[in-house]
Structure 1
């Protein structure tokens, strides 16, 4: 069974705590978010070392490995988007289909050891971009026209990372 694509607009987590994972965007100190991003990597590595990391808990739910691949790619995506916000005036972000990426790059068949090794550099890339932000109000635009700021994008990205750690009990 294929994974049913998640089509929810999760930006509501910027306005209220996420009941599923407990993340509260208003509690995030964006200047320290890079430290939080890096602190998650060891927990992901432990989760990826589980014997069943590549097995789906059910046919419609990603495995720990697939979630970790997604997290790696989210870290790189958000690093790139923060870079665009810093370097361009109101950049338009290209669409990203997480489910298509998972299928096209074969998340389920990737090597857990390799993915564990890739998480550190990906977290470092996002954390480095966070550290370079000097104006947290600079905007970037989603393809649907809604705007993020450097601050809200950082908070939104951090939610994704925290939420998926809860998804895999890491």
Structure 2
């Protein structure tokens, strides 16, 4: 076991290859997220309400500790969510600028390795998460009713509208809070 101030040696995470796009249509039995509860014009407010919960998670003792060798620690999940905020901000900007926008591939597992998530400073991650959360929330605040059916496409062929993109995005943030008991 390591303390909360030094990096830990981390076992590799088994990549999640599941297709989670179904969460835009039906509730997630694991975390309780219900896409029907998402107001597509209030995603920014929802993000702002979730950031303090992430702050609390990242301030806990043992934030670097993994619950199992191949399960991310709360710190690693926090770094991932920070990066999710940035990726989704960029993708939403593309959708708002270009209907039918194509998203570049983002390999979250490669990002975790390249970013050294397990060795990051939790205080820095929480600050960066808050900044990235504010940025994506502000971007979602610019969405107007007439933007909701604009389309974006992932590199794997999944198609989102701005409406379903907001649902998918919020599920990721909420689900990972559930992963860390946040």
Match of 1:47 in 2: 57
Name the SS for the 2:26 alignment partner: coil
Q: Does 1:161 align with 2:161?
A: no
Separation of aligned partners in 2, 1:91 and 1:137: 12
TM-score (norm 1): 0.97
Separation of aligned partners in 1, 2:158 and 2:43: 23
Residues matched between the structures, number: 170
Match of 1:31 in 2: 41
TM-score (norm 2): 0.91
Kindly indicate which of the two structures has a greater share of residues assigned to helix. 1
Separation of aligned partners in 1, 2:21 and 2:157: 13
1:11-160 equivalences under 5 Å are: 11-134=21-144, 135-160=147-172
Q: Does 1:4 align with 2:26?
A: no
Q: Which runs of 5+ in 2 are unaligned?
A: 1-10
Mean Cα deviation higher: 141-150 or 103-112: 141-150
Q: Post-superposition, which runs of at least 4 consecutive aligned residues in structure 1 deviate over 4 A?
A: none
Q: Which runs of 5+ in 1 are unaligned?
A: none
User: How much is the aligned-residue C-alpha RMSD, in angstroms?
Assistant: 0.9
Separation of aligned partners in 1, 2:61 and 2:36: 36
Separation of aligned partners in 1, 2:143 and 2:51: 22
Mean Cα deviation higher: 126-135 or 65-74: 126-135
**What is the CA distance between 1:146 and its match in structure 2?**
2.4
State the Cα deviation string for residues 51-86 of structure 1 (Å, max 9, x = none).
Answer: 100111110100000000000000111111110000
Separation of aligned partners in 2, 1:69 and 1:45: 12
